[in-house]
Amino acid sequence: MPVTTISGQEVHVDDEGFLTEYDEWSKDLGAQLAANIGIDPMTDDHWAVIDFLRSDYQEQGETATLRRVSAVGGFPTKSLFVLFPKKPARKMSYIAGLPKPAGCI
């Protein structure tokens, strides 16, 4: 896996830039990843979704789909599109430092 430097921290990423090592992520790194894709500043609503994704990943062993974030996490799909415009599942998982969800293009 390639290694890149983000905010002065070396992290392992895949070919699309998604982090591959769960423990390399931090909230500061997440904020920088968000800024890199134009989501700045991160609000409490953004962080609630990211916290759910990271917690769910630890329990399930895979990145939650948009449907799961909405159904299990309780975040309305429309609000996810407002918080993470266009391709919300991809953006949420990127910021959370998780692999791209299955079925996400």
Active site residues: 104
| Contact between 83 and 49 (Cβ < 8 Å) | yes
| Contact between 99 and 14 (Cβ < 8 Å) | yes
What SS3 class is residue 5? strand
Cβ count within 10 A of residue 62: 13
Instruction: Give the rounded distance of the alpha carbon of 19 from its chain centre.
Output: 9
Pairing of strands 9-12, 3-6: antiparallel
